[in-house]
């Protein structure tokens, strides 16, 4: 009925008017989010002051290792992301701490008595109000509304849109995603115009840098800028665009950006959709080789990226100093002093295609690798040598900034002859996350294992055929044949053809067993006959094959391990006798 419709519409109009005025009211309430004197925060009650849109917040956040820190974080997205931390290297505070805006200053009180206090911002004048801006900038103003202090001027590891890194300033990586204290890497906007990455605590010189924008000599007031559209670029003092670091336009509606030097030493541009997507995605990397950051691995270890994630490996003869401490690197159990003692014998182990920091104390030119080894062996000061293109560089330990790199040094490492080299697999890097898809590994391992089985089988058949013509025929007596005096069981081709599936299986077992016996007896040359094969490589391959054909899947090595084993960079444990497991099934 028309009348009813009219009433209904009336109600609707009233409803919408009420709705819009109420939302207007809340919006206004939020916008006037000036933080006035006398306001305070505690970690557990009112823990932060929000920006007007609610995207950013300033206040206490929980640190990964317990306790709280004060900083700016993205509060309007599912995963709280810290973008700035006050006094990042101070120990975390307890839940009893209070942050007070009093007497024109921001004071952090960590004890109940209020005795233990620190100031959040270093300001000469007193502030009359503060504000958490929607840009992510936390600002202190004087009574004239002039900016006294702003968090944007003191970046830690992150740049937000409209924030700049000015000449002479640097960003330092965090220890980890959850611990924002100063980590191991830095990104410096140099006053020579160049933007460069170095490890922490190194001079600003080329030998230590691991990335640069190559804008050296473009002016003394060059700045790094990030705009709201996600463009990262360098400007000179007259706002001339010297270089675009990122290429392309990433802006889509409702997307926010941030640039951060991550704990693994790479700096990245991230984007986050404010819509349904709930995570940061990488838009741009300073490098895609995660072994680039110098010192990602500790002393006496080197970085390898033959996997999806980088890993650290100890020098030959070294083992990791502390499995729990990623930065502690590797050490060995003899010292240069014991080198002088007569009853110790040393040898030099080779490590190919690695690059290191060169701090040689003596350089021999026009030598051979053998002479280089010998020169280091007879010199007790020499603990390692780097050899390349006929030049031998003698080194003392520790070796730093190691990484696998094609066409680089051959590192010759002095090791005790008696001690078994104890490279113990892969250590985590400073960042340490492994992002390997286990599915892929399982699939590849299966393929690899099948491949090995096929190779072993084919190779066995060929070998048997070879033996048919080479040896007199030994009648089959049902026993397993051994490697030593008795030649392996041999077949005529016709016999092979007549075999049933079952007997093929049986023969596979015999074949495995024979290979194992040869391996155990140390007589692998039997397996290859007259062919010339590098004995070490052969032994490695056979050992890996024996591991891969074990019936018990859990005992078989992963694809990653297999690659490392074949490469010779990890030791291969002695494989168990395959038959000992068959009997258990
Ligand atoms: C914050 O306070 C200052 C000084 O009292 C005032 O000028 C300014 O308009 C206020 N800002 C907002 C958003 O209310
Ligand atoms: C926090 O307060 C509680 C109760 O007042 C007290 O027992 C505790 O010792 C305080 N902790 C610190 C670290 O001050
Ligand atoms: C900025 O770069 C432009 C182009 O190279 C140059 O003309 C200008 O002088 C530079 N400004 C400064 C302050 O170096
Ligand atoms: C940087 O990119 C912008 C477009 O995003 C382009 O107009 C400009 O020429 C580029 N500048 C340099 C130095 O490559
Ligand atoms: C960043 O680097 C990683 C490897 O570290 C690579 O997988 C990824 O595709 C790169 N992303 C971009 C946008 O270049
Ligand atoms: C890890 O080792 C490094 C270097 O040896 C040392 O500086 C650091 O304090 C250690 N960290 C921990 C948590 O033990």
Highest average pLDDT, of 300-309, 404-413, 563-572, comes from 404-413
User: Which position has the higher pLDDT, 379 or 447?
Assistant: 379
Answer whether residue 481 shows pLDDT above 60: no
The pLDDT assigned to 464 comes to 58
Pocket of ligand 5 contains residue 247 by CB under 6 Å: no
Answer whether residue 125 shows pLDDT above 70: yes
The tens digit of pLDDT for each residue in 240-288 reads: 999 999 876 666 778 899 999 999 999 999 999 887 667 898 999 999 8
Q: Do 310 and 303 touch, CB atoms closer than 8 A?
A: yes
The pLDDT assigned to 17 comes to 36
Distance (angstroms) between ligand 4 centre and the Cα of 244 equals 6
CB burial of residue 275 (10 Å; 0-12, 13-18, 19+): exposed
The pLDDT assigned to 406 comes to 80
Highest average pLDDT, of 113-122, 440-449, 554-563, comes from 113-122
Atom nearest to 282 CA in ligand 5:
13
CA pseudo-torsion sign 351, 357, 360, 364 = positive
Pocket of ligand 1 contains residue 144 by CB under 6 Å: no
**Residue of the nearest CA to atom 10 in ligand 1?**
34
Answer whether residue 209 shows pLDDT above 90: yes
Pocket of ligand 3 contains residue 243 by CB under 6 Å: no
The pLDDT assigned to 305 comes to 82
Mean of pLDDT values over 294-312? 84
User: Which position has the higher pLDDT, 153 or 332?
Assistant: 153
Atom nearest to 242 CA in ligand 3:
2
The pLDDT assigned to 468 comes to 46
Q: What is the bridge-based pairing of β-strands 147-150 and 81-85?
A: unpaired
The tens digit of pLDDT for each residue in 1-56 reads: 444 454 444 444 333 333 333 333 333 334 447 899 999 999 998 999 999 999 99
Q: What is the bridge-based pairing of β-strands 56-62 and 319-320?
A: unpaired
Distance (angstroms) between ligand 6 centre and the Cα of 328 equals 6
Highest average pLDDT, of 15-24, 299-308, 450-459, comes from 299-308
Distance (angstroms) between ligand 5 centre and the Cα of 264 equals 13
Rounded distance between C-alpha atoms, residue 384 and residue 400, angstroms: 12
Please tell me whether residue 496 adopts helix, strand or coil conformation.
Answer: helix
pLDDT band, residue 540 (cuts 50/70/90) = confident
Answer whether residue 451 shows pLDDT above 50: yes
Both tokens of residue 180? 């924002």
Atom nearest to 236 CA in ligand 3:
1
The closest ligand to the CA of 266 turns out to be 5
Both tokens of residue 302? 């080197």
The tens digit of pLDDT for each residue in 224-234 reads: 999 998 999 99
Question: Which residue of 42, 94, 115 sits with most ligand 2 atoms within 8 Å of its CB, as the best mutation to test the pocket?
Answer: 94
**Residue of the nearest CA to atom 8 in ligand 5?**
288
Answer whether residue 309 shows pLDDT above 80: no
Atom nearest to 325 CA in ligand 6:
1
Q: Which residues of 528-549 are buried (b: 16+ CB within 10 A; e: fewer)?
A: eeeeeeeeeeeebbbbbbbbbb
The closest ligand to the CA of 430 turns out to be 6
The pLDDT assigned to 175 comes to 93
Distance (angstroms) between ligand 5 centre and the Cα of 285 equals 6
Pocket of ligand 1 contains residue 31 by CB under 6 Å: yes
User: Which position has the higher pLDDT, 323 or 320?
Assistant: 320
The closest ligand to the CA of 298 turns out to be 6
Distance (angstroms) between ligand 5 centre and the Cα of 438 equals 20
Answer whether residue 222 shows pLDDT above 90: yes
Q: Do 358 and 392 touch, CB atoms closer than 8 A?
A: no
The closest ligand to the CA of 200 turns out to be 6
**Residue of the nearest CA to atom 1 in ligand 4?**
244
The closest ligand to the CA of 321 turns out to be 6
Rounded distance between C-alpha atoms, residue 423 and residue 405, angstroms: 19
Question: Which residue of 263, 283, 285, 429 sits with most ligand 5 atoms within 8 Å of its CB, as the best mutation to test the pocket?
Answer: 285
Please tell me whether residue 501 adopts helix, strand or coil conformation.
Answer: helix
The pLDDT assigned to 533 comes to 66
Rounded distance between C-alpha atoms, residue 336 and residue 355, angstroms: 23
Highest average pLDDT, of 237-251, 476-490, 517-531, 533-547, comes from 237-251
Q: Do 125 and 144 touch, CB atoms closer than 8 A?
A: no
Mean pLDDT, all residues of the chain: 78
Answer whether residue 110 shows pLDDT above 70: yes
The closest ligand to the CA of 242 turns out to be 4
- Residue 373 is given by DSSP the state H
The closest ligand to the CA of 330 turns out to be 6
Atom nearest to 96 CA in ligand 2:
1
Atom nearest to 94 CA in ligand 2:
13
User: Which position has the higher pLDDT, 86 or 548?
Assistant: 86
Distance (angstroms) between ligand 4 centre and the Cα of 61 equals 38
The closest ligand to the CA of 142 turns out to be 1
The pLDDT assigned to 132 comes to 96
The pLDDT assigned to 509 comes to 60
The tens digit of pLDDT for each residue in 70-100 reads: 999 999 898 899 999 999 999 999 999 999 9
The pLDDT assigned to 453 comes to 60
Atom nearest to 110 CA in ligand 2:
14
**Residue of the nearest CA to atom 6 in ligand 6?**
328
Which residues have any ligand 6 atom within 6 Å of their CB? Answer: 325, 327-328
Rounded distance between C-alpha atoms, residue 265 and residue 372, angstroms: 34
Which residues have any ligand 2 atom within 6 Å of their CB? Answer: 94, 96, 111-112
Instruction: State what percent of residues in the chain have pLDDT above 70.
Output: 66
- The model carries a pTM of 0.69
The pLDDT assigned to 144 comes to 93
**Residue of the nearest CA to atom 7 in ligand 1?**
145
The pLDDT assigned to 473 comes to 40
Which residues have any ligand 4 atom within 6 Å of their CB? Answer: 231, 241, 243-244
Pocket of ligand 5 contains residue 282 by CB under 6 Å: yes
Mean of pLDDT values over 397-415? 89
User: Which position has the higher pLDDT, 561 or 489?
Assistant: 561
Atom nearest to 221 CA in ligand 3:
13
Q: Which of 210, 178, 212 is nearest to 192 (CA)?
A: 212
Question: Which residue of 91, 92, 111, 112 sits with most ligand 2 atoms within 8 Å of its CB, as the best mutation to test the pocket?
Answer: 112
How far, in Å, are 540, 549, 565 from residue 573 at the CA level?
A: 10, 15, 10
Both tokens of residue 28? 């206004």
């Amino acid at each position: 009925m028309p009348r009813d419709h009219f009433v209904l519409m009336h109600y609707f109009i009233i409803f919408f008017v009420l709705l819009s005025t109420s939302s207007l009211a809340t919006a206004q309430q939020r916008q006037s989010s000036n933080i006035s004197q006398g306001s305070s925060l505690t970690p557990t009650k009112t823990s932060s002051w929000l920006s007007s849109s609610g995207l950013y917040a300033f206040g206490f956040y929980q640190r990964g290792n317990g306790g709280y820190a004060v900083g700016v974080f993205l509060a309007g997205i599912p995963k709280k992301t810290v973008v700035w931390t006050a006094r990042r290297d101070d120990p975390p505070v307890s839940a009893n701490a209070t942050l007070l805006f009093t007497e024109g200053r921001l004071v952090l009180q960590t004890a109940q008595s209020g005795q233990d206090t620190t100031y959040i911002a270093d300001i000469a004048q007193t502030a009359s109000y503060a504000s958490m801006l929607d840009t992510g900038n936390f600002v202190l103003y004087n009574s004239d509304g002039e900016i006294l202090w702003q968090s944007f001027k003191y970046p830690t590891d992150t740049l937000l849109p409209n924030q700049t890194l000015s000449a002479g300033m640097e960003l330092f990586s965090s220890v980890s995603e959850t611990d924002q204290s100063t980590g191991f890497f830095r990104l410096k906007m140099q006053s020579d115009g160049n933007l460069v990455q170095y490890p922490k605590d190194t001079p600003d010189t080329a030998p230590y840098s691991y990335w640069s924008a190559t804008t050296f000599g473009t002016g003394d007031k060059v700045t790094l800028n990030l705009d709201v559209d996600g463009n990262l670029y360098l400007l000179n003092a007259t706002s001339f665009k010297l270089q675009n670091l990122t290429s392309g336009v990433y802006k889509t509606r409702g997307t926010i950006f941030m640039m951060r030097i991550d704990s693994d030493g790479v700096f990245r541009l991230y984007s986050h959709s404010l819509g349904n997507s709930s995570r940061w995605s990488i838009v741009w990397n300073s490098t895609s080789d995660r072994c680039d950051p110098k010192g990602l691995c500790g002393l006496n270890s080197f970085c390898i990226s033959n996997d999806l994630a980088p890993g650290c490996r100890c020098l030959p003869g070294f083992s990791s100093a502390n499995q729990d401490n990623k930065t502690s690197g590797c050490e060995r159990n003899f010292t240069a002093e014991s080198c002088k003692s007569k009853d110790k014998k040393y040898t030099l182990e080779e490590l190919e295609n690695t690059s290191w920091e060169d701090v040689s104390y003596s350089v021999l030119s026009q030598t051979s690798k053998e002479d280089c080894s010998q020169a280091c062996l007879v010199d007790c000061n020499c603990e390692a040598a780097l050899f390349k293109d006929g030049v031998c560089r003698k080194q003392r330990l520790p070796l730093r900034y190691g990484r696998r790199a094609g066409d680089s040094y051959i590192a010759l490492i002095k090791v005790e002859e008696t001690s078994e080299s104890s490279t113990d697999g892969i250590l985590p890097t400073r960042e340490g996350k492994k992002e390997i898809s286990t599915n892929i590994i399982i699939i590849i391992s299966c393929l690899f294992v099948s491949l090995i089985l096929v190779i072993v089988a084919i190779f066995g058949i060929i070998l048997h055929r070879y033996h048919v013509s080479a040896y007199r025929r030994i009648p089959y007596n049902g026993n397993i044949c051994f490697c030593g005096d008795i030649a392996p069981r041999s077949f005529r081709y016709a016999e092979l053809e007549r075999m049933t599936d079952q007997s093929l299986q049986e023969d596979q077992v015999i074949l495995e067993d024979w290979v194992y016996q040869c391996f155990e007896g140390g007589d692998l040359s039997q397996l290859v006959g007259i062919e010339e094969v590098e004995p070490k490589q052969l032994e490695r391959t056979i050992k890996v094959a024996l591991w891969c054909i074990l019936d018990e899947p859990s005992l078989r090595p992963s694809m990653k391990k297999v690659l490392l084993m074949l490469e010779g960079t990890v030791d291969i444990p002695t494989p168990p006798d395959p038959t000992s497991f068959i009997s258990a099934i």
